Amino acid sequence: MDFSDRIVHSLRTIHSMFVSRGYVHITGPVKTKINKLHVLELQAEYVNPRSEAREIIKCVLVPFHALKLSSSVGKSDVCSYCDGPPDALLHYIFITDSISFQAVVYLNSLLSYWEVMSYDDTACAKNAHYHVPTYTVLTEMELQQVERRFGDRKKFNKMVARVDAMARFLDFRVGDVVRVKKANGVENYRLLIAEEEIM
């Protein structure tokens, strides 16, 4: 599959992912540049239930090198793309196969929330199959009711936020509690944790 086929396939999945996450006003893709690199960008809006703030989503698809069949983004690329006044309401998503350590350090210094997903992560809509349970992030009020019934959230089954495929696809964040409802009606709850917490 060449880049143009792969990009069309990824765009379909990303659109499905955006809808599943509750994003609205999805626009694009539009062509833009990062340094000298031509990329595609999608934008959307999201009212984050954790903070009730409106976020602007910017998703950029980094093309892969024709010979290496992989894509990568470095610090200068990320600096060029994220250049502007600090904004906690911006949410960046980079679709790329590789990101440099320096780029990650730079992204961590921003106020903005960011994600990196690979093209493999966008190979299919992970929640599209009938047998995949329904995942819902609980509001604080819902969580209090669940805790009264089942005990403290720290006792719930764990789900690693940046590792679990569904957590990445649906953007579950550390500290979220997710209701997992299977097709047969059985429900359970998962607490989202950071990778360091499983060491």
The number of C-alpha atoms within 13 Å of 67 and in the hemisphere containing its C-beta is: 0
Q: Is the pLDDT reported for residue 70 higher than 70?
A: no
3-class DSSP state of 110: coil
H helical segments located in 116-192: 140-150, 165-170
Full-model pTM:
0.83
How many whole angstroms separate alpha carbon 61 and alpha carbon 21?
18
**Which CATH number is 3-117's, of 3.40.190, 1.20.58, 3.40.1350, 1.10.1740?**
3.40.1350
Q: What does R_g of the chain's alpha carbons equal in angstroms?
A: 18
The model's pLDDT over 2-39, given as tens digits with 9 standing for 90+, comes to 556 667 778 888 998 999 899 999 998 898 888 877 88
Q: Is the pLDDT reported for residue 81 higher than 50?
A: yes
**Is CATH 1.10.3720.10 correct for 134-198?**
no
Cβ 114 vs Cβ 93: under 8 Å: yes
The model's pLDDT over 102-134, given as tens digits with 9 standing for 90+, comes to 999 999 998 889 999 988 888 777 777 777 888
Phi-psi group of 25: left, alpha or beta (phi > 0 → left; psi -120 to 50 → alpha; rest → beta): left
